[in-house]
Amino acid sequence: MKFRSNKDFASRIQKGWDVFDIYYSRTDVISLYIAALILHPARRTKYIKINWPAKWVKPNLKKVEKFWEDYREKAFVSSLAISYDEVQRKSEEEKEFDTFKRIG
């Protein structure tokens, strides 16, 4: 390493590593990032198992599983709400059509 003796350059490199450490420590708690890796066709869980330290793999896959369960429940409730709204809208459209039919 020819730049090791250059204190200014070495401190900038260290600062870069410190920023990376902050970034990667945040990805550890963000299930969405892990889910994105798993859903990416070129990554999947294989990428995590190969590139991440072994002690991170199982807890993070559990986080994604929990994230998916929470999302699935919210998506189901949301789809029920949308369905009810659609039924109401169609019902109103049918009433308007009946009114139009009587007038016409």
The answer to pTM > 0.85 is: no
Instruction: Quote the pLDDT of residue 79.
Output: 59
Instruction: Quote the pLDDT of residue 99.
Output: 65
Give the DSSP letter string of 78-95: HHHHHHHHHHHHHHHHHH
Instruction: Quote the pLDDT of residue 29.
Output: 61
Pick the closest to residue 38 from 13, 70, 75, 67 (CA basis).
Answer: 67
Structure tokens at 69: 């369960």
Run means of pLDDT, 10 residues per run, the chain, 104 residues: 76 88 70 85 90 87 86 68 64 65 60
Instruction: Quote the pLDDT of residue 56.
Output: 84
Structure tokens at 93: 């459209």
- Report helix angle 44-51 to 54-103, nearest 10: 160
Cα separation, 21 vs 13, in Å, equals: 12
Pick the closest to residue 61 from 49, 75, 43 (CA basis).
Answer: 49
